[in-house]
Structure 1
Amino acid sequence: MKIITETKIPAPIDVVWHAFNDPNDILQWDSCGEWHTITASNDLKVGGLLELRIESKVGKSGFDFAAIYTQVETNRLIEWRQMDDDRLIRVNFSENGTDTIVRQTFNADPTIPSNEERADWQGVLDNFGRYVAAKHNI
């Protein structure tokens, strides 16, 4: 089953692209519910790695996330394959007037209810949109 999440951000595409990919920015917006990212590194090129450490906000549990980039088209497309389960995630960036649309498409994780997974990913994407807007006083 495919899951799609999307948000519209009132910012130029280059600003959105940078905030989505800069490790310092990722630390500010990559969270949902009780989880947040505490370390991030990003080698944004085909064959490069995205590596995150995600931990609980209330406990000491956590996990490492790693993905390898399979496609990168600046200000347009990022695609990566998750290292732990081989799922492919595609993130499209498009301009709509003065706004930028960010759309993520991926296969559902069979071990998580799809409505729950979609809500988690949408929550992170919504956090991202709010972060970009606040950072740039939009």
Structure 2
Amino acid sequence: MTRNATRTLNLDFTYLEFYQNYVISTVKEGTILEEEQVDELIDTCKEHYGDEAFVYISNRKFSYNVNPLIYLNLFKIENLEGIAVTSSNPDALKTANFERHFSQVPVELFQGMDEAKAWANSLTKK
């Protein structure tokens, strides 16, 4: 379904894999995701995607904390079509379900990456 990443980037707090319609972010263990990190993510995604529509896929492979108020900054990314959260950990999905209430863009939860990628592609193919 998906080709290899067009670009990868290892930031201090996350590992990013850029694809045509989505970026997969695997935040590092023990990170506290705050506004400063989100601003860096926003700048990086704007640089990569320009005005092209994309979806942010959060691969919650490791344990980390998110300040849910960071979702209020998503208005800065006009071409962000949605956020997918993937995890095999029920507690991580439960936390993400709480966080989704702060987002102005659609947020969907998935147990598998393939489903998240399919959803991302469906959003960007409108």
Which structure has more RCO (C-alpha within 8 Å, separation ≥ 6)?
1
- The structure carrying a bigger helix percent of its residues is 2
Structure having the higher Rg: 1
